[in-house]
Amino acid sequence: MIRQQTKKRYLNRRGLLAFLQATFPDCKNFRIIEIKDGYYTFEAPRDLTERSTKSEHHVSLLRQTQTTNHSPQIYRLCTVVHKCNQVTFGAMEIPSTFRTRFYPAMSANTNLETHSLLQICSLALSKPQSLTQVLSNKTLFSNSEKKHLIELIGIEADASHNPRNTTFRNAADLADYLHDNGQSSVARRCGIDVYFLHQQHTWAPLNASRDMITTLMDHYNISCGFLQMLVCFRARYLPTEEGFTAPPRMASGIKQSEFGWVYKYPEKKKVESGSPWVIRQTGVYHIFSTETGKSTYIVLSPSPDAKFKMNLQKVLREHSFRSTLLLSGMLVHSMLMSTHLGEWRDYLTYHESLLLKLDMKFDCTDLEDQLVSFDSLKEIRIIEKEILPVDSLLASFDELVQDLQQAGSRLSVNSDDARNANSAVRQCLEEVRKEAMSYRTRAVYLRKRAQLSAQTVLDSLNLEFQQLAKGQSQNTIEMARSSREDSVAIRAITLVTSFYLPFSFVATMFGMNLVDFDSDTRDLLVSRQLWLYFVISIPLTVITLACWRWRVQTYQRSFLNNETNTAKSAKSLDNTSHIEMV
């Protein structure tokens, strides 16, 4: 039976089979049987005697069948164990007679397998193209050399020494420091280095140059996942990706393990009007060297005086806190989460209070008061829009905490104190996760309540429109009744006018001086100037009709122009605003 004497690290069936095939190339069938989790029995043509070792990682060979004699001289050999897509090591004692047969084959297979896996991952994720694309992004790095700044706080393995504070303004200074630091004492190479990069504000690019970033990546052999995390801090001109959280970036190798992530959280700012809350983000990329036990953190902040950055710098200056940070690599990650997690509660409380005020306004308003309008609906939609990203952000946060709990053992030194510290941090992370899930539940509730409030406003507006339409219908009925009465009177007047008009025209004609009766002969006398009556009347009638025609056409043209302008205004308004129609 074979078992690796390290907590939560057992040889799986595939690793055991690879070990047996490399040790006994002539044997094909080993009859591996799993008794329980991590415990196997197998048959082999030779016996590997159980020996003790002082190494912390060792494998105890408990029982094998078909024994033969072998040399008593023992050697330790590192065997590769693949678990959860990572490479870890365990020390195993085997007889010298098998060492020459096993070690070269195992080493060659391991190197070939590791190299092949790296190539497969690189091609599968298109890392060369991704690297070129990110580094050529003009919105990622600041063009002003005066703003380029990377701050460093270094802690030695002996926490009693004061931390080193260094600032870099260009890639040359950074490269010189990294070169000198590589030749420094062992205590410095086994401590903690924290690099601080920041933006001028949330929508600004990083205050660093492309050369400074590539210098860091080349020195620490950082994977391309770090660049994918940097893209979240590019310059932007619109509030995009508010509900998007980049996935954690993980990479594990023989010499180092990496874990990076971006955390989005609300933060209150000083404003003269409007909402004081904004969504900000902070990133942490952790590189842990399995050879030296050194942890290197790259902290990406949204501003030079970000809250987490100031808190972390304060903690690093305290001797007791420095010694604690050296025990567990998960502490910095947990500190970032806990620093801003409580602000979600204030963020949701602020928007809930706005929603409650609007609800009280609706409940205390009659339809005749006209207090519910499209502005009320717009206010509710704004609150709903602010609450909408919370669910997705906290859902990503839940998955992030689980990934961090699993990756914690790879980000710290392997000792009893470190394991105890990691266990305590995992418990704290579980509390943080539960708190985040409570905020997520509250956000879902507030979003549904905002939707109900919006529906209430829409119903109120619809009722107002119905009452308005009812009133307009009643007015139309009254106008129709009045028009009917007026039309009856007009018809009567028209009838009377039609009866009297011929008599009035004849009386008018005979009443003029142009027509007269001869008193002697009783004959009708018509003046030779009668034509003047027609010469004046006919043109005057034509002019009157022409003026009326011009007035009608002018009114029609003005009406059509108003309709066209109204249509254009409505079209431009639809393209530039967010007015919700009922």
The b/e string for 546-581 (b: 16+ C-beta within 10 A; e otherwise) is eeeeeeeeeeeeeeeeeeeeeeeeeeeeeeeeeeee
Q: How far is CA 13 from the centre of its chain?
A: 41
The last residue of one of the domains, among 99, 124, 149, is 124
- State what percent of residues in the chain have pLDDT above 90: 24
> Is the pLDDT at 536 greater than 50, yes or no?
yes
Provide the pLDDT for residue 40: 63
Give the model's confidence band at 48: pLDDT under 50 very low, under 70 low, under 90 confident, else very high. very low
> Is the pLDDT at 167 greater than 80, yes or no?
yes
Q: Do residue 71 and residue 195 come from a single domain?
A: no
φ/ψ of 460, rounded to 5, equals -65, -40
Provide the pLDDT for residue 287: 92
Q: Do residue 76 and residue 162 come from a single domain?
A: no
Provide the pLDDT for residue 11: 52
d(CA 170, CA 154): 19
Residue 19 included in any domain: yes
φ/ψ of 274, rounded to 5, equals 85, -170
| Three-state secondary-structure class, residue 255 | coil
Q: Do residue 173 and residue 261 come from a single domain?
A: yes
Provide the pLDDT for residue 317: 82
Provide the pLDDT for residue 574: 47
Residue 387 included in any domain: no
Provide the pLDDT for residue 28: 66
Q: Do residue 75 and residue 144 come from a single domain?
A: no
Residue 453 included in any domain: no
Q: Do residue 33 and residue 77 come from a single domain?
A: yes
Provide the pLDDT for residue 560: 85
Q: Do residue 317 and residue 184 come from a single domain?
A: yes
Provide the pLDDT for residue 233: 92
Domain residues for the domain of 67 are 2-124
- Give one DSSP letter per residue of 362-397, joined into a string: HHT--GGG----HHHHHHHHHHHHHHHHHHHHHHHH
Kindly report, residue by residue over 442-451, the tens digit of the pLDDT.
999 999 999 9
Give the model's confidence band at 79: pLDDT under 50 very low, under 70 low, under 90 confident, else very high. very low
Provide the pLDDT for residue 188: 63
Residue positions counted in the chain: 582
Residue 8 included in any domain: yes
Mean pLDDT, residues 430-441: 94
Residue 446 included in any domain: no
Name which residue leads in pLDDT, 31 or 80.
Answer: 31
> Is the pLDDT at 572 greater than 90, yes or no?
no
Q: Do residue 153 and residue 112 come from a single domain?
A: no
> Is the pLDDT at 60 greater than 60, yes or no?
no
Q: What is the pTM of this model?
A: 0.64
Give the model's confidence band at 106: pLDDT under 50 very low, under 70 low, under 90 confident, else very high. very low
| Three-state secondary-structure class, residue 277 | strand
> Is the pLDDT at 163 greater than 90, yes or no?
no
Mean pLDDT, residues 207-215: 91
Kindly report, residue by residue over 338-355, the tens digit of the pLDDT.
999 999 999 999 999 999
Q: Do residue 278 and residue 311 come from a single domain?
A: yes
Provide the pLDDT for residue 168: 94
Provide the pLDDT for residue 95: 35
> Is the pLDDT at 544 greater than 50, yes or no?
yes
Provide the pLDDT for residue 527: 79
d(CA 79, CA 89): 6
> Is the pLDDT at 35 greater than 70, yes or no?
no
- State what percent of residues in the chain have pLDDT above 70: 76
Residue 22 included in any domain: yes
CATH code (residue 195): 3.30.460.20
d(CA 364, CA 151): 57
Q: Do residue 204 and residue 188 come from a single domain?
A: yes
Q: How far is CA 78 from the centre of its chain?
A: 43
Kindly report, residue by residue over 505-533, the tens digit of the pLDDT.
778 777 777 777 777 777 777 777 778 88
- Token pair, residue 39, equals 């415990």
Residue 36 included in any domain: yes
Mean pLDDT, residues 423-440: 92
The last residue of one of the domains, among 124, 151, 173, is 124
> Is the pLDDT at 579 greater than 70, yes or no?
no
Q: Do residue 262 and residue 165 come from a single domain?
A: yes
Provide the pLDDT for residue 77: 31
Mean pLDDT of the chain: 77
The last residue of one of the domains, among 326, 353, 374, is 326
Q: Do residue 135 and residue 82 come from a single domain?
A: no
Name which residue leads in pLDDT, 368 or 300.
Answer: 300
Residue 566 included in any domain: no
Provide the pLDDT for residue 63: 32
Could you say which DSSP state residue 252 is in? Answer: E
Which of 80-84, 246-250, 571-575 holds the top average pLDDT? 246-250
> Is the pLDDT at 424 greater than 50, yes or no?
yes
- H and E: helices and strands count for the chain: 14, 15
Kindly report, residue by residue over 469-510, the tens digit of the pLDDT.
888 898 889 888 888 888 888 888 888 888 888 888 778 777
Q: How many structural domains compose the chain?
A: 3
Q: Do residue 64 and residue 6 come from a single domain?
A: yes
